[in-house]
C-alpha cells in the first residue's frame, strides 16, 4: 500500500501524507533518558505537523564485541511501554529471535526487522503473525547485501504469512568494500515501485562497520556529519519518512555514538527535512 496508518495511534506514512518521523535512541540506556529524548522529539514534530513515533532498541544483538553494551534486554519493553503511555506516542523497536515476536508486537506499534535478519524466514513469519495479532505495522530494513528490487521478496514473504499487515521498507545503505556503506538514492524510487512506503535510516547509513578507531575495530565507527546529507538526499529522492537516532550527548552514548546526532540539533534538521519533503511531494 502506498499509504499506511497505524489504527490505534493514527500515525501515518505514505504518498500525499506529511513526512513521517521515526526517531529516538539507538538503544535504551534508562527510562529517564528515553522520556527526555522522546518528549523533545514529540514537541518538535507536533510544532511541525509531522507524525512522530519513538524508536529505541531494547537489545543490540549484532555487536562487534561481546563486551559491547547491548541494552536492558526484554526488560526494555517495560521502558518502551512507559514511554508510550506517558508521552502518548507510538513506539518502534526491533527484534532478533522468533520467541520475541509476541511480547514485542504486544508493546511496539511498529516492529522492526533488522537488516541482517530480514531474510530469516522463521523470524519474518513469526513477526508477521504477531504484528497481525496485535495490530502493529512492520518496518523491514533492506539488508546491506540486497538490491532494492529484491525487497519484493520481503514483502511477499510477509504477505504470505499475514496478508493484512502493513509493511514499510527502510533503506540503510549497502556494503561497499571493507568497513564502508554507501546509499544509492535510486534505491528509494525502486523500492517505492513495490507499493510500500519507504523510509531512510540516515543514522545507520553512515556507519563504518567494525571501524571505530577508539576501540581498535571492536565497535562500529560512523560519520555523524553525513546523517543530514543522506536524510536530505533521500527525501529529495522521494522517501516517505526518516529514521534518525539522537542523544543528549552523542559522544557518551553507550552504543553507536559516532553515528547519532545531538538532540539539540533535531529542530533545525527536521524543519529542513519537512521543507524538502514539501517541495518534492
The residues carrying an active-site annotation are 26, 60, 256
Neighbours of 1 (CB within 10 A): 11
Cβ atoms 138, 168 nearer than 8 A: yes
Helices 152-161 and 121-134 cross at an angle (nearest 10°) of: 60
Which residues are registered as beta bridge partners of 13? 4
Q: Give, in degrees to the nearest 5, the angle at Cα 137 between 135 and 139.
A: 160
Distance of CA 259 to the CA centre of its chain: 13
Give strand pairing partners of 169.
Answer: 140, 198
- DSSP per-residue codes, 170-187: EE--EE-STT-EE--TTH
C-alpha grid cell for residue 1? 500500500
Residue whose C-alpha cell is 540516515:
202
Amino acid at each position: 500500500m502506498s499509504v499506511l496508518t497505524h489504527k490505534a495511534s493514527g500515525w501515518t506514512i505514505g504518498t500525499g501524507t506529511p513526512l513521517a518521523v521515526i526517531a529516538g535512541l539507538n538503544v535504551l540506556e534508562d527510562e529517564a533518558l528515553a522520556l527526555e529524548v522522546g518528549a523533545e522529539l514529540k514537541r518538535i514534530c507536533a510544532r511541525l505537523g509531522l507524525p512522530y513515533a519513538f524508536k529505541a532498541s531494547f537489545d543490540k544483538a549484532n555487536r562487534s564485541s561481546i563486551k559491547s553494551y547491548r541494552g536492558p534486554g526484554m526488560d526494555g519493553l517495560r521502558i518502551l511501554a512507559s514511554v508510550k503511555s506517558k508521552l502518548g506516542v507510538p513506539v518502534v523497536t526491533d527484534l532478533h529471535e522468533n520467541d520475541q515476536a509476541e511480547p514485542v508486537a504486544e508493546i511496539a506499534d511498529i516492529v522492526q526487522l533488522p537488516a541482517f535478519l530480514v531474510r530469516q524466514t522463521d523470524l519474518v513469519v513469526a513477526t508477521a503473525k504477531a504484528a497481525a495479532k496485535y495490530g502493529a505495522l512492520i518496518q523491514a530494513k533492506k539488508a546491506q547485501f540486497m538490491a532494492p528490487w529484491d525487497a519484493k521478496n520481503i514483502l511477499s514473504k510477509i504477505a504470505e504469512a499475514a496478508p493484512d499487515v502493513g509493511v514499510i521498507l527502510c533503506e540503510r545503505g549497502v556494503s561497499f568494500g571493507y568497513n564502508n556503506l554507501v546509499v544509492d538514492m535510486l534505491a528509494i524510487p525502486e523500492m517505492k515501485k513495490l507499493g510500500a512506503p519507504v523510509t531512510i535510516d540516515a543514522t545507520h547509513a553512515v556507519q563504518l562497520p567494525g571501524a571505530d578507531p577508539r576501540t581498535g575495530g571492536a565497535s562500529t565507527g560512523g560519520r555523524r556529519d553525513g546523517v543530514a546529507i543522506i536524510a536530505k538526499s533521500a527525501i529529495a529522492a522521494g522517501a516517505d519518512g526518516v529514521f534518525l537516532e539522537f542523544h543528549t550527548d552523542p559522544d557518551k552514548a553507550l552504543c553507536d555514538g559516532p553515528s547519532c546526532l545531538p538532540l539539540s540539533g533535531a529542530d533545525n534538521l527536521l524543519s529542513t527535512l519537512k521543507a524538502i519533503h514539501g517541495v518534492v511531494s
